[in-house]
Structure 1
Amino acid sequence: MLIKKYIKEYFFKISIFSTIGIFIGYFIKILLVIGFPLLTKYFIDIVLISKDYSSLFLWVTLIGIVSFGQIGIGIFNTFLANKLKYGFLNYIKIVTLKRILNSKYSISPQSGASYLTSRIEKEINILALSVILWLHFYFSNMW
């Protein structure tokens, strides 16, 4: 109960930081996707000839860390959506509608929670793919 009380008091500060974390994670992933063609060229030109996979370890590890961080942030946002009955974007929607319409607005917490849960599942898939790639590069480098 004490945790719920503190979360309600500091809801805006907590949720804005987790939302910023999600955006930073997506920005890093976009940079990785933009860098993927360059990485492919590097892989074809250098790695296949020299069999040196060390730089690819770093790339796959970075994707794994970012995905794992976003899973944690997504779980935290789902906690906020379930415990407080709304997430950060719904909070902004409520405040805006209350100011404009000056009326009550009911929110289904499950809609926000199910969206966040599906996003967490997507991040788990990306994390699993990066782990598989990392293991492949690791064992290819060993032999």
Structure 2
Amino acid sequence: MCAKGTYCLILKTDGCTVGVGSLKSIVFEAGYYIYVGSALGPGGLKRMHRHQKLARQKDKKPRWHIDYLLTHSDFEYVDVVYTCAEKHIECGIAANLQGTYVSKFGCSDCFCQSHLFHRLTCPVNEIKSAIEDIGQKPKILSENDDF
């Protein structure tokens, strides 16, 4: 297993409105949402397990944009696709996903339009392709993966 990398969380909702910190109130259409995140800091890819736990327990106060969705009762954790990397590649993956997105979500530290994308159908294969398109190998997270 690798210690650091980039991940794409997949969440699902039947539609709702969520207050997301400084972004204020956002209307989320029904469907799947892909959040592209970096796990290069302390803890690395263990961050994915934090997201899974937060989505299940919904027991912490939101700190980051994605936390507002993970803790909201109308959002359900679906899966996460990740890749091992020692450098920032999340913007390249986000650029490959494009399409319908939530403006300024999760990208306050870069120049991307967004790191949160909406899809009507489950986007696992699309995410795998987006990761492969930048020369990386996609992996699906197992609850038992140890980082």
Greater share of helix residues, 1 or 2? 1
TM above 0.5, yes or no, is: no
Greater share of strand residues, 1 or 2? 2
Larger Rg: 1
Structure-2-length-normalised TM-score = 0.20
